[in-house]
Amino acid sequence: MQQPIVQYLDANSKMHGDANKVGLAQKDHRTIFTLMLKVRLFEERCMKLQRQGRIGFYIGAYGQEASHIASAYAFRKQDWIFPSYRELGVMLLRGISMQEIVNQIYGNSEDHTQGAQMPCHHSFRKANFVSISSPIATQIPQAVGMAMAAKYKGDKVIAGVYLGDGGTSEGDFHVAMNFAGVYQAPVVFIVENNQWAISCPAHEQTASDGFAIKAKAYGFEGLRVDGNDVLAVYEATKRAVEKARQGKGPTLIENVTYRLFSHSSSDDASRYQNKQEYEQALKCEPLIRYRNYLQEQGIWNEAWEKEISEDFKKEVDVAIKTAEKQPRPDPSTLFTHVYATSNPLLEEQQRLLQEELKERESWEEEGAFPL
C-alpha cells in the first residue's frame, strides 16, 4: 500500500487544509505563477526553434513546473542546487538572465561554457546551480558530498538535488542515500516522478510502492507529494529544508507528476504513452490548477497574465536574435578548463588542432574539396 500523498490543492483546484500553514503570501504566489508561466512559454518557443533547425536539441519541463519551481522556492539562494534536466525555473528564480540561458542553448561564443555542454545542460556558479550532467544520477552523490563538506565546516548551507524516477535505479542513488542516512547529511532529495524514464513507465522501474518509501531503508524520512500542487510541494520542501538546516538529516521527497511532452525533442512519446492517461493528466496539470486557485483568491486575472506573457515573449525574442548574431566559440576553447594547469598531452592536441584548422583554411581558399 502506497504512502498517503501530501496535498493541499486537489485536481479541481479546491483547497484542503489550512492555507496559512503553507506560508505563502500574495507576492510569493505571484512570483511562483510568473515563473511557471515563463517556463511554459519559453519551452514552447524552444521546441519551435528546434523543429526549425535553429537549435540542435531541447529537453523541457512541460507538466512539471510546480514540482521544481515551488520546491526551489523553499531553499535559500546560498543553498546549492544539483539539477537534473528540467529545472529551468530554478535558474530564473535565482536571477539568471534569459540571454545567458539562450546563449547556452545556442552554444555560441557568449555561452560561458563555450559550447562545451549539450543544449539545456546549464551551469551557473554565481547561482550555486551545479552543472547538469547527461549521465543519469551522477549529481546525487555530488550533492551529498557538498552537503557533508558544509556540515564539516559548520556552514549552514544545504544541498537540494533533483532526479527523475529513472535515476532511482542507478547505483549512485543508493550509494548517496545510504551515505546521507548514515552521516545525517544536510541534503534534500527531490524525485520528480513524472511516470516515465524516457519510454520506461514507473511501474516497471521499481517493485516498491512508489519512491518515497525507499528512504525508510536508509534510515530517514520519505514524503510522497502531489507534484502538481504548488502549495503541497512548497510546504513539504520547506519542512525538509528546515530540518536539514537544523542538523536533523536528509529527506526524500517524491513529487508525483506527469510528463506532458516527449522526453526531449529527440523523442516521440505518442509511441508509448497511453492516450487516455495522458488526456486525464492534461486536465489537472499544474499551471491550470494553480491559475484556478489564484483566481479564486483574487490574485490572478487574465489581463495580468496577458501582460506577463507579452513582455516575456519580447524578452525571449531579443535574447534569440542576439544569440543568433554571435559567432561560434573559438576552437581553442576546447582546451580551456580541462585541467587546472596545462600538460604536454593537452598542448600536443591543441597544436594538432591548430594545424588542421590552418589546413582547412587553405582548402577553402583554393575552393577544392580535399581528397
Answer for the pair 104, 119: CB distance below 8 angstroms, yes or no.
yes
Best CA proximity match to 7, nearest among 353, 255, 244 = 255
CA distance 65 to 152: 34
Quote the cell numbers at residue 48: 519551435
CA distance 199 to 90: 26
User: What residues are annotated to the active site?
Assistant: 259, 263, 272
| Range list of H helices, the chain | 19-22, 26-51, 65-72, 88-93, 98-106, 139-153, 171-183, 214-217, 230-245, 275-283, 286-296, 302-325, 344-366
For 7, how many CA atoms within 13 A lie in the half-sphere containing its CB? 18
Best CA proximity match to 94, nearest among 103, 84, 83 = 83
CA distance 64 to 233: 11
